[in-house]
């Protein structure tokens, strides 16, 4: 891997003279730095001629480090030049989750000031230093909210993203379209978009899906780390969870079709391989992996295998590479060069148009050396340039690939088309205290005495004898 290669400035195994000899002016072969005399009487005797090969080796000894430093500066400068003209769009950032955990979404709390926020991977100065011009902020709730208060909680996370834009209008602008991203670039602000992380957030309701779209959701991850009643998650491939839908159920296929109709990007991070393939085959628009890496380089079930990368290529879809150490190196430690390896692999298998960045900042605990926070993106771009990525390829990974996918999703959308409306079968829903209005086969709660008893037990225990 790129980061494991010996430095050209290393003097190990080069045959070059020790530093002490160089400082003393000595060359290999006994030569010395001095004036060349005539050898005549009364004049300085002629010194032994320096070995030309030794001179070349000595020159290379001090020149290589200088060249390496200049080259590093050159790549970094070139990265910044490109990013000033076309900033980066990141596919997944969990700062809203941190705002919930740390401050219960109270942005007026002085500690929550996004210009001075400490102990997070993300704040406004770091975003500016990283040339981040577009960010999909994650509206995420854990799987334990499924069949409980997940819709309410999702609305609250979408609300805090909108309030970020309201409180920091000089830095953030909430947008809902590809053109909105481009306009934010022109204004020098961070285009802020909402990605809902986990299909459990719609509570198996096409109506909720539509409502979240109208409130600003522009991608939805079909699952998180749990199955929904209509799609299987990645833990199925690890044998931790059992497959329920064999990818997508009939209702899951309706969800995908309705996302196409509305113009919501389909995010396949966190889903099982069967779900990946089913969605890639069914969707009329390109799909995305908002924060996943390459399975061939790290055999973790959260990553994308090569046969799926081939489908990504065929459908014009997008893989935004995740920086979490366990998805990069399959171990606790990783480095920037290894992340670049994943980017290289996606480019090799799926094509340069399939590459993006989905750092997963503020959603993971271990990040590669050199990519500790969102300010470090220019160093990663410099590494890609060092690996001879063309400027066009770099610009694609920065933003153009995502913009292309987003635009294709927008073109496929058709709000005049009849919406999907067949509800999920009642027996596929979890949760013991659901009402059953509208289901003809079960018009009243009284038809399921087990569910009724489950709801009444807490009430009965709370009653005290009179």
Strands 288-289 and 318-321, sheet pairing:
parallel
> Is 342 a residue of the active site?
no
Q: Is 291 a catalytic residue?
A: yes
> Which of 200, 224, 300, 345 is flagged as catalytic?
224
As a whole number of angstroms, the distance between CA 426 and CA 460 comes to: 26
Instruction: Give 334-389 as a DSSP string.
Output: -BHHHHHHHHHHHHHHH-GGGEEE---BTT-S---BT-SSGGGHHHHHHHHHHTT-
Among 171, 232, 267, 360, the active-site one is: 360
Burial of 369 (0-12, 13-18, 19+ CB in 10 A): middle
Q: Which of 90, 92, 341, 342 is an active site residue?
A: 92
Task: Give me the catalytic one of 121, 270, 342, 345.
Answer: 270
Q: Does the active-site annotation cover 224?
A: yes
- 337, 382 Cβ separation under 8 angstroms: no
Distance (Å, rounded) from C-alpha 233 to C-alpha 240?
10
Catalytic residue from among 121, 291, 300, 345? 291
Cβ count near 212 (within 10 Å): 24
Catalytic position from the list 94, 341, 362, 383:
94
From the list 90, 171, 197, 408, the catalytic residue is 197
Is the CB of residue 324 less than 8 Å from the CB of residue 364?
yes
CB 328: neighbour CB atoms within 10 A? 28
Answer yes or no: 270 catalytic.
Answer: yes
Catalytic residues: 92, 94, 197, 224, 270, 291, 360
């Amino acid at each position: 891997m790129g980061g494991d290669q010996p430095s050209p400035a290393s003097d190990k195994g080069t045959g070059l003279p020790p530093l002490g000899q160089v400082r003393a002016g000595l060359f290999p072969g006994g030569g010395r730095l001095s004036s060349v005399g005539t050898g005549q009487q009364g004049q300085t005797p002629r010194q032994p001629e320096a070995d030309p090969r030794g001179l070349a080796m000595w020159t290379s000894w001090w020149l290589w480090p200088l060249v390496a430093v200049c080259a590093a500066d050159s790549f970094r400068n070139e990265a910044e030049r490109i990013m000033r003209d076309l900033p980066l769009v990141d596919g997944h950032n969990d700062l809203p989750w941190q705002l919930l955990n740390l401050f219960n979404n109270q942005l007026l709390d002085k500690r929550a000031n996004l210009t001075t926020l400490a102990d997070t991977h993300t704040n406004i100065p770091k975003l500016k230093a990283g040339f981040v011009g577009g960010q999909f902020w994650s509206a995420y709730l854990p799987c334990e909210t499924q069949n409980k208060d997940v819709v309410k909680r999702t609305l609250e996370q979408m609300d805090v993203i909108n309030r970020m834009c309201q409180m920091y209008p000089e830095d953030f602008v909430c947008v809902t379209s590809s053109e909105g991203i481009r306009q934010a670039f022109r204004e020098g602000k961070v285009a802020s978009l909402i990605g809902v992380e986990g299909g459990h957030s719609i509570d198996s309701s096409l109506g909720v899906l539509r409502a979240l779209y109208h409130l600003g959701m522009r991608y939805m991850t079909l699952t998180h780390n749990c199955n929904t009643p209509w799609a299987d998650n990645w833990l199925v491939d690890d044998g931790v969870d059992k497959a329920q839908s064999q990818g997508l159920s009939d209702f899951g296929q309706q969800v995908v079709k309705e996302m196409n109709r509305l113009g919501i990007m389909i995010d396949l991070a966190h889903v099982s391989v069967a779900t990946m393939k089913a969605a890639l085959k069914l969707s009329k628009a390109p799909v995305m992996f908002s924060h996943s890496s390459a399975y061939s380089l790290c055999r973790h079930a959260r990553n994308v295998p090569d046969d799926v990368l081939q489908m990504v290529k065929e459908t014009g879809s997008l893989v935004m590479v995740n920086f979490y150490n366990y998805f990069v190196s399959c171990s606790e430690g990783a480095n920037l060069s290894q992340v670049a390896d994943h980017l290289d692999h996606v480019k090799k298998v799926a094509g340069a148009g399939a590459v993006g960045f989905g750092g997963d900042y503020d959603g993971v605990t271990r990040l590669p050396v050199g990519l500790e926070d969102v300010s470090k993106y220019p160093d990663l771009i410099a590494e890609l340039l060092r690996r001879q990525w063309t400027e066009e390829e770099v610009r694609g990974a920065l933003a153009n690939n995502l913009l292309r996918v987003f635009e294709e999703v927008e073109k496929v959308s058709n709000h005049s088309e009849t919406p999907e409306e067949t509800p999920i079968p009642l027996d596929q829903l979890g949760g013991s205290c659901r009402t059953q209005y509208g289901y003809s086969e079960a018009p009243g709660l009284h038809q399921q005495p087990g569910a009724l008893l489950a709801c009444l037990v807490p009430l009965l225990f709370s009653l005290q004898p009179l």
